[in-house]
Structure 1
Amino acid sequence: MIKPVTAYLALGSNLDPLQYIPQALQLLTQLPEATLIAESRWYHTRPFGLFNQPAFINLAVALETQLTPLALLTHTQQIENQLGRVRTIANGPRTIDIDLVLIGDAVSDDPLLKLPHPGLLERDFMLIPVLDIAPPSLREPRSGQFLSVFAPAVRYRQIISCSTQARSNDQSIAVSH
């Protein structure tokens, strides 16, 4: 049996996000060997990479899981497919995008799954939501530095605004906004 670890996932949507994000959150609560323990604030963000498209809603969640990183990736891709995700244009519009950002202290250069996510330290819409729900002691696995030290230097600043509060496992995690 694999020891439980905390996995941080980044979610984003710019095609009817108020429909698809709650659905994705609900499906994440149904994963085997995984418990949703925290949800960040919701961030309204400018598109990244391909600019002629609607703005996004981005957030992060924390899962306590015994799934291997590749098994978790398989499950999240199944959720994306179930919610109509179509991969035609890189950084294009999407019903839902679920990225594995950090999984415990795992480091991977596997072409199927790079950990930590390569965009984590460069994109505010990934880093800031994770910082909403991560303990201050969380370290970036490659450098060993506290994750929070990277926030001032983030390269891509896409956040426009955010909702008012994050939720953790000691509060009810709502899936409708």
Structure 2
Amino acid sequence: MQNKIFLSLGSNIGARIRNLQTAIKFLKANPKIQVGKLSSIYETSSVGPKQRDFLNCVLELQTVLSPEQLLFQLKEIEKKMGRKKTIQDGPRQIDLDLILYGGKRLQSPLLTLPHPRFHKRKFVLKPLLEIAPNLKPMGFKKTILQLYRRLTDPSQKVKLHRKQI
């Protein structure tokens, strides 16, 4: 298992911590995925329509799956957990986003890597900073720490959640 990958996990419907735990259990159950570091859980303001705050974390993993195969697995987990596509940036029981896949860059109708907006989102960068501060994502000249320090949008509220996994 050679490809180091980072996923962003989020939930703002139902038992949010349990939703994150369940998604991680599904990932661990896949023999082609090896789960690595898990960040702390952060409570974050939602992007888009007004809704309940999200709980977010970032998970490092390794896999032999291609980016497209991994994306399919993530969508299957979301479906098993009851996620329904509604409005963009709307509430969701679970959201699994493929943020970085090793040193790969990819642009396809299904997937863009690195994730096209990860570097603008505190709810991704703050937990990623915790587990990979010196990582320089493919296509970026700055580390995760440097990218995080550049974010100045006061509307993006991110705080450590009182409960952890």
When the two structures are superposed, what TM-score results if normalisation uses the length of structure 1?
A: 0.85
Q: Which residue of 1 aligns with 2:100?
A: 102
| Aligned structure 1 segments of 4 or more residues deviating by more than 3 angstroms | none
Q: Does residue 26 in structure 1 map to residue 25 in structure 2?
A: yes
Q: Does residue 44 in structure 1 map to residue 31 in structure 2?
A: no
Aligned residues: 163
Given residue 148 of structure 2, which amino acid in structure 1 is its aligned partner? A
Q: Which residue of 1 aligns with 2:146?
A: 149
Q: Which residue of 1 aligns with 2:112?
A: 114
Confirm or deny: 8 A CA contact 1:123 1:155 kept in the other structure: no
Q: Does residue 125 in structure 1 map to residue 123 in structure 2?
A: yes
Deviation at 1:147, TM superposition (A): 2.4
Q: Say what the alpha-carbon RMSD is for the aligned residues.
A: 1.9
SS in 2 for 1:101: strand
Measured in 2, the distance between the counterparts of 1:8 and 1:81 equals: 20
Q: Give structure 1 stretches of 5+ with no counterpart.
A: 166-175
* Partner deviation per Cα, 1:36-89 (whole Å, 9 max, x = no partner): 1110010001111112x1111000000011111000000000000000001111
Change over 3 Å in CA distance of 1:164–1:93 after alignment to 2: closer
Q: 1 or 2, which has the higher helix percentage?
A: 2
Q: Give structure 2 stretches of 5+ with no counterpart.
A: none
Deviation at 1:164, TM superposition (A): 7.5
Measured in 2, the distance between the counterparts of 1:80 and 1:72 equals: 12
Deviation at 1:19, TM superposition (A): 2.3
Measured in 2, the distance between the counterparts of 1:158 and 1:98 equals: 19
Given residue 151 of structure 1, which amino acid in structure 2 is its aligned partner? Y
Deviation at 1:160, TM superposition (A): 3.6
SS in 1 for 2:120: coil
Given residue 91 of structure 1, which amino acid in structure 2 is its aligned partner? D
Deviation at 1:158, TM superposition (A): 2.4
Deviation at 1:95, TM superposition (A): 0.4
